[in-house]
Structure 1
Amino acid sequence: MSIKLSSNMKIGLIVVAIVAAVGVSRHMASFKPPMNMPQTVQVKAMQVIQRDTPINYEFVGQVKSKNEVKIMSKVSGNIVEKMVNGGDTVYKGQPLFRIDNKQYRSSVNSARATLRKSQAALENTQKDVERYRQLVAINGIARQTLDSQVAQAAEDAAEVEANRANLQQAQEDEQDTLILSPVDGRIDLNDLSVGDYVAAGTTKMATVSSIDPTWVQFSMSENEYLNLAQLGNGNLPNSFKDNLKLILSNGTQYPLAGHIEQIDKGISDATGTITIKAAFSNPQKMLLPGMFAKVSAQGEVTQGALLIPQRAVTELLNKTFISVVTDDNKAQSRQVTMGERIGNLWLVKDGVTINDRIIVEGLTKVKDGTALEVIMVQPDQLQIPAK
């Protein structure tokens, strides 16, 4: 049997359906599911290390030539021979350049002839003096004539000495046309070649830098200097000065130890540091001027130092922070004061105790109050990248 609904009944059914839908919607909106239990984050942590620790100081240094000599000629002229190339290793007394010496040989010959002429004149004058002495003895001539001849002989003798000096100078000038290396070292690259004109005392022909031994120059802060000077009763301690190590730019250690040779007179106003030069033997010529290297030296020993991995430390706005595990296994951020870096570890001056557990892996996943699942590890279990 079919039932026919009127228009009014249809409208009523629609209204009822809408009201029912609104009621269900309000009920669903008021329903709140139970909150999820907090999830734990897995991290790795390690106990703070405590041990007696020698403090190693590291400074950035640069290799400097101990002697750097500019080669300049004492005489002028054109280069007629060049015996070395730029970059060659040279030795003290080794010929480097030769300057045209023709005019200087002529000067030697001229000076020699002038000297011989004056020597001949002196010999004649001296003979006259002897004759006049004999004549004065028998009253053959006046005493004044002898005195005049004696004065003339003295003047001629002075002329001989002056001419001898001129000859010596001419010979030295001729010898100086051969330019010798004043030191052992390495000669720089230069643009001078055969035919170039050299002005005496003005033209730099080359620079020879000594390289064995060589200097490594570095700077030390005022506080570092004071700490070390206090250990050495006013001076840098011998354990620091006489056993310097050198770490080259490729990370290898130079095989020979160095020692401090010069300390600047005071602290620089501009940098607040003091400049120091250390000498290193360089028999293999491995160290070249201009190279950069780290100078490492041992200072004092800190008794019972507290150490943590450098990877556990976050630096922000000149402050340092770590995250520790609380007694109820939650993360807690803490500001700490750091000291010297010891290999891959970092000495903590303030902010931790021997009982603290330091988060070393998973730092980016936690914040204050995060519940933790802690895996304790030993220092040798961490793959800590060298710094």
Structure 2
Amino acid sequence: MIDVALRDVPVVYEYVGQTESSQQVEIRARVNGFLEKRVYQEGTLVHQGDVLFVMDRKPFQAALDAAQAEYAQQKARLDTAQANLNRVRPLAAKNALSQKDLDDSIGQQQAAAAALEQARANVTSASLNLGYTTITSPVTGLSSFAKKQDGSYIDATNSLLTYVAKLDPMWINFSLSENEILDLRTQTSNGSLKLPPVGKLEAVVVLADGSTYPQRGHIAFTDASLSSDTGTYLIRAEMPNPNGALRPGQFVRIKLLGAERASAVAVPQDAVQQGPRGAYVWTVDKDGKAQQRSVETGQWNGNDWVIQSGLHAGDRVIVSNTLRLMPGASVKANLVAAAPASGAADPGAAQTGVGASGAASTSASSASASTSTSAEASTGASQRNGNANATTSPQVEGNRTALYFATGSASLDAQSATALADVARRLASAPGARVVISGYTDSSGSYAANERLAHARANTVRSALIVAGVPDARIDMRKPARVVASDPPDKSRRVDVTFPASAGG
């Protein structure tokens, strides 16, 4: 059993999102004419300035030549008018010519100068149009297919040629309903939930195959208004994508990290049972008798379940061997090694049950214990020895720690939790070290179900290390390996935590 204590626990919010290019540019023709050639290869990565299309240049080159000739003609007229004005001005000053002759000369010179400026503008316009026949990419990104083929006539009605989507960074769009937003505001205002500033919320992406994208992002945008079409608020995360692993349009799961449930009650998932009236747990009263108590469950936090109501600080909760319990049955507690408290911030605190807030429960209140009724005390050991679901003790061999789960279960036992506490302390003493988590899938039964279970077990180990204070950046996840006929039968229940030799572990 455990003594319930209040502590801050991390909260992970998970939503379904869709990737979107942070800059998707329409590549359009700026002039009318015939498309001469597509230069780029469709679907490839193009860089800023790369030539994508070339239009027929000959009509635009001819227009530029005509504009340049007009400019030269206007330049000659201006030179003539200027020379004439230079002759008339001194003669008019000596009254050899009338003031009208001087005014006419000045007017002709100014008209010629204006005509020259017009001709210069025509040359600039013709030069721009000629340059527009070479169509380049304005950004570095992934190109789409060509919407127009070589030889097509392009005008204002069909000027769209293709798209280029910028891949780094990538946007992840997801939505929150109005009720979810109001609930978050209520919890934040009453102090039950601690939320960092929006830009400080970390975003982790889980891909369709269950693997975690290695880069982490942050929330970059929240829409100020509610969508009248969907009744939701649009939220956008910005995710680094230097290698282009994420592509626009993918459906992913996005997890937001950084929030904390303040002064929460959390118990191991195995302690929570389901009955006709909903969830309940077994507690021990002051007389050592088992009592059933209804609870309202909240979110999962690693291997723990946050209890929203029904339990209070100081209550004693039975965490295992609950199948034969009855209200009023005498309970005998068998203390075992303490498991790391969910949300632990300090790896060294895993032994004493430090919560996310750092408040240590150094007394026996944080110790886990298995319980048995007096009716099963004499037979429990023999039953466990013959139980196919019994787990094997963790095995430490050099840089590898092998953890074993019960058949069909993804929950850690106390011995495995203690072994992970040792791993966390080892990582804390070696700042440059990393660990690799890898599981195994049974070769019998449904491969998809076995693979999901292996992923769940590996994620349980990862979550336990994170709540023990190990940064997620120091944990590498590997795809589960297949178990073959020559492997030991227990290998399908195993998850390995390995210090790579190159990491200095």
Choose which of 254, 263, 266 in structure 1 pairs with 2:222: 263
- Residue 185, structure 1, aligned to residue 141, structure 2: yes
> What corresponds to 2:248 in structure 1?
289
> What corresponds to 1:218 in structure 2?
174
- Residue 162, structure 1, aligned to residue 118, structure 2: yes
- Residue 300, structure 1, aligned to residue 260, structure 2: yes
Distance 1:199 1:324 in 2: 76
Question: CA 1:236–1:202 in 2, change beyond 3 Å: closer, same or farther?
Answer: farther
Question: CA 1:50–1:174 in 2, change beyond 3 Å: closer, same or farther?
Answer: same
Check whether the contact 1:246–1:296 (CA below 8 A) recurs between aligned residues. no
Structure 2: runs of 5+ lacking an equivalent: 334-368, 372-390, 392-403, 411-452, 460-505
> What corresponds to 1:355 in structure 2?
316
The 3-state SS of whatever aligns with 1:266 is coil
Check whether the contact 1:320–1:338 (CA below 8 A) recurs between aligned residues. no
One-letter code of the match for 1:169?
A: S
One-letter code of the match for 2:207?
A: L
Q: CA deviation at 1:168?
A: 0.7
Q: CA deviation at 1:308?
A: 4.1
Report % sequence identity. 27
Cα RMSD between the aligned structures?
3.8
Q: CA deviation at 1:141?
A: 1.2
One-letter code of the match for 2:258?
A: Q
Alignment of 1:1-387 (within 5 A): 52=7, 53-200=9-156, 202-220=158-176, 221-223=180-182, 225-226=184-185, 230=189, 237-238=196-197, 241=200, 243-269=202-228, 271-291=230-250, 292-309=252-269, 312=272, 314=274, 320-322=278-280, 324=282, 336-352=295-311, 354-357=315-318, 383-384=409-410, 386=456
TM-score normalised to structure 1 length: 0.73
Distance 1:182 1:231 in 2: 49
| Farther off after superposition, 95-104 or 336-345 | 336-345
The 3-state SS of whatever aligns with 1:210 is strand
Distance 2:211 2:6 in 1: 27
TM-score normalised to structure 2 length: 0.57
Check whether the contact 2:198–2:219 (CA below 8 A) recurs between aligned residues. no
> What corresponds to 2:358 in structure 1?
none
| Farther off after superposition, 74-83 or 161-170 | 74-83
Note the alpha carbon deviations across 1:235-272, whole angstroms, 9 max, x for none.
96248725332222222222222122222123445555
One-letter code of the match for 1:303?
A: S
Moved over 4 A (4+): 46-51, 227-232, 269-272, 310-316, 323-332, 358-362, 366-369, 371-382
Check whether the contact 2:45–2:142 (CA below 8 A) recurs between aligned residues. yes
Structure number with greater Rg is 1
The 3-state SS of whatever aligns with 1:296 is strand
> What corresponds to 1:3 in structure 2?
none
Q: CA deviation at 1:112?
A: 0.7
Check whether the contact 1:63–1:293 (CA below 8 A) recurs between aligned residues. no
Check whether the contact 1:213–1:282 (CA below 8 A) recurs between aligned residues. yes
> What corresponds to 1:43 in structure 2?
none
Q: CA deviation at 1:193?
A: 2.1
| Farther off after superposition, 260-269 or 48-57 | 48-57
One-letter code of the match for 2:61?
A: R
Q: CA deviation at 1:329?
A: 9.0
Q: CA deviation at 1:114?
A: 0.8
Check whether the contact 1:75–1:176 (CA below 8 A) recurs between aligned residues. yes
Distance 1:372 1:193 in 2: 83
One-letter code of the match for 2:279?
A: F
Distance 2:278 2:171 in 1: 36
The 3-state SS of whatever aligns with 1:249 is coil
> What corresponds to 2:469 in structure 1?
none
Q: CA deviation at 1:231?
A: 9.8
Q: CA deviation at 1:342?
A: 1.7
The 3-state SS of whatever aligns with 2:245 is coil
> What corresponds to 1:26 in structure 2?
none
Q: CA deviation at 1:297?
A: 1.2
The 3-state SS of whatever aligns with 2:150 is coil
Question: CA 1:181–1:268 in 2, change beyond 3 Å: closer, same or farther?
Answer: same
Distance 1:358 1:269 in 2: 47
Check whether the contact 2:281–2:295 (CA below 8 A) recurs between aligned residues. no
One-letter code of the match for 1:306?
A: A
Question: CA 1:95–1:360 in 2, change beyond 3 Å: closer, same or farther?
Answer: farther
The 3-state SS of whatever aligns with 1:282 is coil
Question: CA 1:86–1:51 in 2, change beyond 3 Å: closer, same or farther?
Answer: farther
